[in-house]
Amino acid sequence: MSIQNILCVGAGYVGGPSMAVIADQCPEITVRVVDINPERVAQWNSDTLPVYEPGLDAIVQRCRGRNLFFESPTPDHVNAADMVFVSVNTPTKSFGHGSGQAADLQYWESTARWLRPHLKRGAIVVEKSTVPVKTAEAIATILHYDRPEQDIAVLSNPEFLAEGTAIRDLEQPDRVLIGHGDSPADQAAAQALADVYAHWVPREQILFSSVWSSELAKLAANALLAQRITSMNTLTALCERTNADISQIADAVGHDKRIGPRFLQAGVGFGGSCFRKDILNLAYLCEQEGLNVEAAYWRSVVLLNDHQTDRFARMIVEKQFNSVAGKRVVIFGFAFKPGTNDTRDAPAIRVCRSLLEERAKLVITDPQALEHARQDLAGLAGGITFEPDPYRAAAGAHAIALVTEWPEFAALDYARIYAGMEKPAFLFDGRNLLDAAALHGLGFNVYPLGRRARTHL
C-alpha cells in the first residue's frame, strides 16, 4: 500500500511540526494539515508561525506550497486522503463525570463523525493525540458504522516529541510506536505507516504493539518522566535544610547507568499541556478499574508538583521579611520550559497568582511567551507589567524570581542589574540556572532550590 496523500486534522503543537517533518522527509507525499480554527490556519500560512520551535521555520519555508499545505477542512480533503492523522486536542475534562481527571474526547469524536462519510475505502486513520486506553476501539466503532470493517484501519501512533526540541525529536526519534489490530488489513496499514517513517527512521527503531499497549505506553512514558522530576523535587526541601546540594545528588545518582543522567533537574515543578493531564488521566483509568491505591500513587505526583511550586512562591514571600505587598517582583521566564512560547500549565502562572494574592507588583519578562502570559493573567487583580527587556524589567525591583531557565537569563550582566535594584536585592533561582556564588559576590541575597542560600542578611 503506497501512501501519496496524507491529511492531518489539528494544526497545533503536534500536528504542525510533525506533518512539516513528514513533508520534508517524503517529498513524493502531499501533506495537508487542516484546522477548524481559521486564525491558526492563517498563522501557519504567514511569516509568524503559531508555534515557536527551533528549526521549524526553515522546514515550513522549504515545504509550504510544495507538498505541505495548511487549510480549512473540507470533505474533499478527507476524500483524497490515503492516511489521516488526528492530532486534535484532548484536554482534561472540565465538566460532568470525571471532571478534572478524565480526558475530554469531544474533539476526537466529532472529528471521527466528520471523517466517517467521506473516507475512501482502504483509508488508514492514525491516532496521534494522546488518548485514554481503548479510544481507538471507540473511534473504530464510529468509523465502521454502516460500512465493512476492512474499509478503514485505525492505528495508534502516539507522539513523544517534547516542545523546544520538537524538530530534533521528530527527525531523530528514540522510537516510533505503532499500535495495530490483528487482521491482515490492520497489519498492512501498520506496515504502510512504518514505510512512511522508514524514509528517515531506522527500521529497528519502529516498534509495533497492540493498539491498547500503544495507548497505555504513551501515558506511562509521561507518567514516569513526571514522577522522576517529582522525586528530585521532593528532595530539594530536605537539601535546603541540611545543606546538601541537589545538583550534586543528581550527578551522583545519574552516574548509575540504571538511572541515567537525564530528567533529574529539580525546579519549581513541571508544567506543559501534557504531564498533569496524562497522569490525571492514568489515575482516572486506574480508578475506573477499581485500582484505588494505584490511582492514589499517580495522583500524588500531581499533588507534590503543586506543593513544590507553592513552596517556591512561599519562599519568595518569607525570605523578604514575610511581605511582598507593594514590592516590585520580576518574573524571569513565563514559558513552561525554555525554547517554546507555550505557557499551558506553566508553573509561572501559579507563582504569579500566589504573589498577586500577596499584593506584589509583578513584572513579567520572557523571550517568547509574553503574549501568552498576557492572556493567562488577564483579569487577575493587581499590578502586572509585561516587559521584553530583562534589564528594564529589573530596574527598581526588590526581587527577581527565575522560573524558566532560558539561556538568555544566564548571559545577563547581573552587576548592571544589581546596581539598578532596590536593596537588599533578592534573587530566587527556581531552576538553579545561575551561579549563586558569583551573584552573592555581587551583593545579591540568593535562594536556589535544593541548595544552601547565600545571603548578606
Q: By CB under 6 A, name the binding residues for ligand NAD.
A: 9-15, 34-37, 40, 73, 87-90, 107, 110-111, 129-130, 159, 161, 163, 273-274
**414 Cβ partners below 8 Å, 6+ apart?**
434, 438, 439, 442, 444
| Max Cα-Cα span within the chain | 76
User: From the CA atom positions of the chain, what is the Rg in Å?
Assistant: 24
**Minimum distance from CB of 323 to ligand NAD (Å)?**
38
Where do the DSSP E strands lie in 227-312?
Answer: none
**Minimum distance from CB of 272 to ligand UGA (Å)?**
3
Cβ-based nearer residue to ligand UGA, 186 or 215: 215
Q: Which residue is nearest to ligand NAD (CB)?
A: 12
Are the C-beta atoms of 397 and 329 separated by less than 8 Å?
yes
Give the C-alpha separation, 375 to 368, whole Å: 14
Cβ-based nearer residue to ligand NAD, 59 or 434: 59
Beta bridge partners of 7: 32, 84
Cβ-based nearer residue to ligand UGA, 275 or 447: 275
Give the C-alpha separation, 400 to 14, whole Å: 33
**Minimum distance from CB of 266 to ligand NAD (Å)?**
22
Q: Pick one of ligand UGA, ligand NAD, none as the site partner of residue 110 (Cβ within 5 to 8 A by kind).
A: ligand NAD
Q: Pick one of ligand NAD, ligand UGA, none as the site partner of residue 222 (Cβ within 5 to 8 A by kind).
A: ligand UGA
How far is residue 7 CA from its own chain's centroid?
23
Cβ-based nearer residue to ligand UGA, 133 or 264: 264
**Minimum distance from CB of 14 to ligand NAD (Å)?**
4
**4 Cβ partners below 8 Å, 6+ apart?**
28, 29, 30, 82
**Minimum distance from CB of 311 to ligand UGA (Å)?**
14
**Minimum distance from CB of 253 to ligand UGA (Å)?**
13
Q: Pick one of ligand NAD, ligand UGA, none as the site partner of residue 37 (Cβ within 5 to 8 A by kind).
A: ligand NAD
Q: Pick one of ligand UGA, ligand NAD, none as the site partner of residue 89 (Cβ within 5 to 8 A by kind).
A: ligand NAD
Spatial strand order in the sheet of 328-332: 384-386, 361-365, 328-332, 399-402, 426-429, 445-448
Cβ-based nearer residue to ligand NAD, 135 or 308: 135
Q: Pick one of ligand NAD, ligand UGA, none as the site partner of residue 332 (Cβ within 5 to 8 A by kind).
A: none
Cβ-based nearer residue to ligand NAD, 9 or 216: 9
Joined grid coordinates for residue 304? 507534590
Q: Pick one of ligand UGA, ligand NAD, none as the site partner of residue 35 (Cβ within 5 to 8 A by kind).
A: ligand NAD
Cβ-based nearer residue to ligand NAD, 270 or 426: 270
Beta bridge partners of 385: 363
Q: Pick one of ligand NAD, ligand UGA, none as the site partner of residue 271 (Cβ within 5 to 8 A by kind).
A: ligand UGA
Cα separations (Å) of 354 from 17, 44, 257, 347?
34, 35, 39, 11
CB atoms near residue 353 (< 10 Å): 14
Catalytic residues: 274
How far is residue 137 CA from its own chain's centroid?
26
- DSSP assignment of 100-168: TTSB--HHHHHHHHHHGGGPPTT-EEEE-S---TTHHHHHHHHHTTTS-GGG-EEEE------TTSHHH
Long-range contacts at 262-266 (CB < 8 A, ≥ 24 apart)? 263/225, 263/228, 263/229, 264/228, 264/229, 264/232, 265/229, 265/232, 265/431, 265/432, 266/229, 266/232, 266/233, 266/235, 266/236, 266/432, 266/449, 266/450
Cβ-based nearer residue to ligand UGA, 181 or 430: 430
**Minimum distance from CB of 325 to ligand NAD (Å)?**
37
Beta bridge partners of 108: none
Give the C-alpha separation, 183 to 153, whole Å: 9
Are the C-beta atoms of 152 and 144 separated by less than 8 Å?
yes
**Minimum distance from CB of 119 to ligand NAD (Å)?**
14
Q: Pick one of ligand NAD, ligand UGA, none as the site partner of residue 32 (Cβ within 5 to 8 A by kind).
A: none
Return the SS3 of 314.
helix
Q: By CB under 6 A, name the binding residues for ligand UGA.
A: 130, 159-163, 222, 225, 229, 263-265, 267, 270-275, 336-337
